[in-house]
Structure 1
Amino acid sequence: MSLRKQHFFNSKNLPTKFSIFYFIVGIIGIIVLDRFLNIYFIYNNVENSFINFKLLFLFLLFTIIILFLILHQMQKVITKIDKSYKDLKIKDKERLMPYEFALNNSVDAIYWFTLDAKFVYVNDAACRMLGYTKEELIGQPLEKIEPNFNRQTAIEAMNYIQNSPNYLLETTQIKKNGEVFPVEISGHGFEYMNNKYICAFGRDTTIRMEYRNKITNINLELQKSLDEKEILLKEIHHRVKNNMEIISSLLAMQLRRAKDDEVKYILKQSKSRINTMALVHEFLYLGENLAYINLQDYIKRLVQDIKELYISQNTKLKVDLHIDKLIFSTNRCIQIGMVVHELCVNALKYAFKEDRENLLCIHMKKIGDKIHVKIRDNGEGLKDINCLYKSESIGMQLIHSIVEDQLDAIIEFRNNNGLECNIIFSKDEEE
């Protein structure tokens, strides 16, 4: 609340009153002076005919008129100045009203400090947040509400904010009732009327901290649940792999007892196909990701297992393996693995011989949004390539079924210093 000072010249009748007062004082002065001079001249035997009471009275009247006019003009000027000052204050108040409204109705607490860390202004939000009135905070030191500061560290903080473009601090403040609560503070330095100040914005983060703690607890529970599910999935993949290995062992036992070469080959192929699928589950069990597999590592291991199963020690085989870094899902890896398995087994069965250098090329490249697969041997090739598209063998039927129905791919066989198979399919997997 501000007090408006009344100027001495604000009275409307002041020139008249002052002139009457001056007239009365002047008359009294003239009478006193006239008597004093009469006594003086009588005592000194001097003629005083030149002293004229009427002349003095006229002089007095003239000075009163001049004084009245001067005072009247001064009153007009001062009244005009006072009116202009009042109008200016009203305009300033109207101009500042939106800013004052914004400050007092801000959600954030706003404080102004001197560089010695004392309050010079607080808005209504700060008072509500801290429980103090403005009068209780103005002039008080920062440490009144900041238990983490003392006099020295508070002044150091003000100087640091003054020299920092962006200042942000998560701290605690204490209310009038002694309650401590978390708050986020941002501050900026500014200069006004040749004085330096700090403007700080405070936001009560109690609700945010509660939500953060809730979210943290929820995330911990979700992570715990996820870890349990990962362990369960790993265990499932491990058991599937073990079950497939049991089936593979049973086929191996049956293979050792079989006497017919064709039956042995069929059992060996079945065992190899099961191993191809079991290998995927082994990678999932041993890997960090339970949904995707590095195709490069998988194919390299698959080819090694096929060599050990089908190639004798006397057969010299060089494998030219070039596979881009590709990450595929379990199903996609099984599909590609089965195709590679069948094509490699066919090459090992029909193209490679013990008395020469054998070569098996397996290339998989990512070109644009397509995956290009090339598998080639250095055997004699085939006279009738078209027979591969019409073959009734289980292996070729399996290849065509996977390539056409599951990979939605294009497959092409051709002779190129041996038999070459090219497969092109989309990089993106369909859900």
Structure 2
Amino acid sequence: MSSMKKHFFNNKNIPAKFSIFYLIMGVIGIIFLDRFLNIYFTYGQTSENSGSTLNFLFLFLIFSVLILFFILNHMQKVISRIDKSYKELKDKDKERLIPYEFALNNSVDGIYWFTIEAKIVYINDAACKMLGYEKDELLGKYLEVMDATFNRQTAIEVMSKIKNTPNWILETTQRRKNGETFPVEVSGHSFFYGGQEYICAFGRDITQRYEINKKIKNINLELQKSLDEKEILLKEIHHRVKNNMEIISSLLAMQLRRAEDDEVKYILKQSKSRINTMALVHEFLYLGENLAYINLQDYIKRLVQDIKELYISQNTNLKVDLHIDKLIFSTNRCIQIGMVLHELCVNALKYAFKEDRDNLLCIHIKKMNDKIYVKIRDNGEGLKDINCLYKSESIGMQLIHSIVEDQLDATIEFKNNNGLECNIIFSKDEEE
């Protein structure tokens, strides 16, 4: 019917056909009218009036046919122009939509249009390929055909949820035509078209992502297992190093008990104390959770306590003023700082503190910008010749200068300040 109508309106002879048809119908009408008038005038008027009337009717008919012809001819031209414009517009729209249609069909993601009742009204080629269906097999079907996790009620509910949730996204499973299931990440948005609301969903097969995540998880488990084994091994190494140092310390203690010379005793005591300073680092590493770094605050507190027990008699009253910022240093850096503090503290305990007075040892370590400031001060009598500390040949002072200048790359300053005060400044960042 539509093709006949289209052919009819495209016929260029429409004005002539309409005019001839109108002419034939007019002639038939005139004949019938003439007979009617003959009958009428036979009984009511003369034949002369009838002839004039007939001539008038013929003239009117011819005039009407001409008018009708021109009107229909103009209408035909208008219809032809409209039809031509419609075809051109349709072709342009078709050309304009080609790249969009190509993009939709060749998208990596499956694209679906649903009604609010979860009926499929559009599906692209990528979705058909992913699900193993032809388009005709899915159009008009419902969501639960391809997603077994939904039933009729929950499918309608999820459409409503997508409608009311911006940037809605869900991980679910879809079912192929052959019955296989696979994981899918789906995002959805609502939109209006042609006065009706639809849901547009984008589905992406994430099977490969699941497989990669599974592999990564297995690799992480293997790495964690290997890391745990290495941590156990490292802890065991630190434990053995600490034990070996304690054995050396015990041997020195045995020699200390047998020594008779006071100078030899003091040397042995210092050596034992230095070994304990290093062993303490390995003890913290063995007992701590981190095998690479130590909390300096905890380490210094324990170190000072051990030095007091070794060098201070019960009759000596000593107050220790500790102010140490929270700093985390490596094993090597802690040993460096610990050895320097050990020598300075031992010197203070040996030369500055007396049994008949209140003794004070201040240890302040603070962080300012990218520098670490260390201050150690006692309340002894100080030194008359401070410069002698910079060129002393004692093992303790040589050890201090060696660590400060060569290992910490720091500056050191001694001065009298109601006792002897030592200030050390070094960089916060450790060198590789």
**TM-score of the aligned structures, taking structure 1 as reference length:** 0.94
Q: Hey, what's the Cα distance between the residues in 2 that align with 1:276 and 1:100?
A: 77
Query: 1:324-345 CA distances to partner (integer Å, 9 max, x unpaired)?
Result: 0011000000000000001111
Change (3 A) 1:132 1:4: farther
Q: Relative to 1, partners in 2 of residues 1:4 and 1:427: Cα closer, same or farther, differing over 3 Å?
A: farther
1:90–1:318 CA distance, 2 compared to 1 (3 A) = same
Q: Which residue of 2 aligns with 1:14?
A: 14
CA shift, 1:40, in A, is: 7.6
Provide the rounded CA distance (Å) in 1 between the counterparts of 2:5 and 2:385: 116
User: Within 1, Cα distance between the matches of 2:309 and 2:192?
Assistant: 82
Following the alignment from structure 2 to structure 1, what is the Cα–Cα distance between the partners of residues 300 and 4? 93
Which runs of structure 2 are paired with 1:358-377 in the superposition (5 Å)?
358-377=359-378
Which residue is 2:114 aligned to? 113
- Give the 3-state SS of the residue equivalent to 1:390 in structure 2: coil
Whole-angstrom CA distance in 2 between matches of 1:61 and 1:123: 62
Q: Alpha carbons of 1:29 and 1:215: their partners in 2 closer, same or farther (altered >3 Å)?
A: same
Please tell me whether residue 156 in structure 1 is matched to residue 160 in structure 2: no
SS of residue matched to 1:70 = helix
User: How many Å separate the matches in 2 of 1:420 and 1:65?
Assistant: 127
Percent identity of equivalent pairs: 80
Query: Aligned equivalents of 1:314 and 1:361: distance in 2?
Result: 20
Q: Is the 8 A contact 2:41 2:50 kept in 1?
A: no
CA drift at 1:5:
7.1
C-alpha displacement of 1:152: 1.1
1:72 aligns with 2:73: yes
Report the equivalent of 2:23.
Answer: 23
Query: 3-state DSSP class of the match of 2:354?
Result: coil
The 2-side partners of 1:48 and 1:179 are apart by 97
Seen in structure 2, the aligned counterparts of structure 1 residues 72 and 332 have a Cα distance that, compared at 3 Å, is same
More divergent stretch after superposition (314-323 vs 175-184)? 175-184
Q: Note the alpha carbon deviations across 1:134-190, whole angstroms, 9 max, x for none.
A: 222222211111111111111111111111112010111111222211111111122
Rounded Cα–Cα distance in structure 2 between residues aligned with 1:4 and 1:33: 35
Shift of 1:39: 6.7
Q: What's the RMSD between the two structures over aligned residues?
A: 2.1
Q: Separation in 2 of the partners of 1:27 and 1:135? A: 58
**CA shift for structure 1 position 407:** 0.4
Aligned to 2:298: 297
Q: In the TM superposition, what are the counterparts of 1:413-428 in structure 2 within 5 Å?
A: 413-428=414-429
Structure 2 counterpart of 1:16, one-letter code: A
Pair 1:3–1:24, CA change in 2 (3 A): closer
Separation of aligned partners in 2, 1:403 and 1:56: 132
SS at match of 2:390: helix
Match of 2:61 in 1: 60
Amino acid at match of 2:394: S
Aligned partners of 2:171 and 2:418: how far apart in 1?
72
CA offset at residue 16 of structure 1?
1.2
The aligned runs of 1:233-248 (5 Å cut-off) are 233-248=234-249
Secondary structure of 1:69's counterpart equals: helix
Distance 1:201 1:4, change over 3 A: farther
Question: Helix, strand or coil for the counterpart of 2:393?
Answer: coil
CA distance in 2, matches of 1:395, 1:5: 115
Distance 2:5 2:410 in 1: 95
What is the one-letter code of the residue matched to 1:240?
V
Shift, 1:98, TM fit: 3.0
Partner Cα distance (2:356, 2:14) in 1:
136
**Alpha-carbon distance, 1:269 to partner:** 0.7
* Cα distance change of structure 1 residues 162 and 351 upon mapping to structure 2, 3 Å threshold: same
CA contact (8 A) 2:361 2:377 kept: yes
2-structure distance, mates of 1:48, 1:243:
153
Count of matched residue positions in the alignment of Structure 1 and Structure 2: 429
Residue 254 of structure 1 and its aligned partner are, at CA, apart by: 1.3
With over 3 angstroms needed to count, the CA separation of the structure-2 counterparts of 1:51 and 1:138, relative to structure 1, is farther
Secondary structure (helix, strand or coil) at the match of 2:6 reads coil
Residue 389 (structure 2) pairs with residue 391 (structure 1): no
Q: Which amino acid aligns with 2:392?
A: S
The equivalent residue for 1:87 is 88
Which stretch of the first structure deviates more once superposed, 379-388 or 332-341? Answer: 379-388
Post-superposition offset of 1:196: 1.5
Q: Deviations over 1:43-69 (max 9, x none)?
A: x69765544455544443333222211
- Match of 2:372, SS state, is strand
The Cα of 1:3 is off from its aligned counterpart by 8.9
* Partner SS state of residue 126, structure 2: helix
Residues 189-210 of structure 1, C-alpha deviation per residue, up to 9 Å, x if partnerless? Answer: 2222332111111111111111
TM-score with structure 2 setting the length: 0.94
Opposite residue 302 of structure 1, the aligned amino acid is L
Contact 2:365 2:372 survives alignment (8 Å): yes
* Matches of 1:37 and 1:214, distance apart in 2: 105
Alignment-mate amino acid for residue 23 of structure 2: F
Q: Give distance in 2, aligned partners of 1:342 and 1:132.
A: 83
Question: In the alignment, what sits opposite 1:102?
Answer: 103
> 2:134 & 2:47 partners in 1: Cα distance?
77
Cα distance in 2 for residues equivalent to 1:102 and 1:45: 84
The residue aligned with 1:306 is 307
Give distance in 1, aligned partners of 2:409 and 2:5: 93
State the Cα deviation string for residues 214-257 of structure 1 (Å, max 9, x = none). Answer: 11111111111111111111111011111111111111111111
Specify the alignment match of 2:259 in structure 1.
Answer: 258
Structure 2 gap segments, 5+ residues each: none
How far 1:34 moved relative to its partner? 4.1
Counterparts of 2:316 and 2:47, CA distance in 1: 162
| CA positional deviation for 1:37 | 5.8
Residues 7 and 312 of structure 1: CA distance in aligned 2, closer, same or farther (over 3 Å): farther
SS at match of 1:428: coil
Give how far 1:8 is off: 3.8
The code of the aligned residue for 2:314 comes to: Q
CA-to-aligned-CA distance 1:294-316 (integer Å, 9 cap, x gap): 00000000000011111111111
Deviation, structure 1 residue 393: 0.9
Residue 362 and residue 398 in structure 1: after superposition, are their counterparts in 2 closer, same or farther (change >3 A)?
A: same
Inter-partner Cα distance in structure 1 for 2:321 and 2:374: 13
User: 2:50 and 2:349 mapped to 1: Cα distance?
Assistant: 154
- Residue 406 of structure 2 is matched in structure 1 by 405
Whole-angstrom distance in 1 between the partners of 2:128 and 2:76? 45
1:81 offset after TM fit, Å?
1.6
d(CA) in 2 for partners of 1:72 and 1:4? 20
Q: Distance in 1 between matches of 2:16 and 2:256?
A: 137
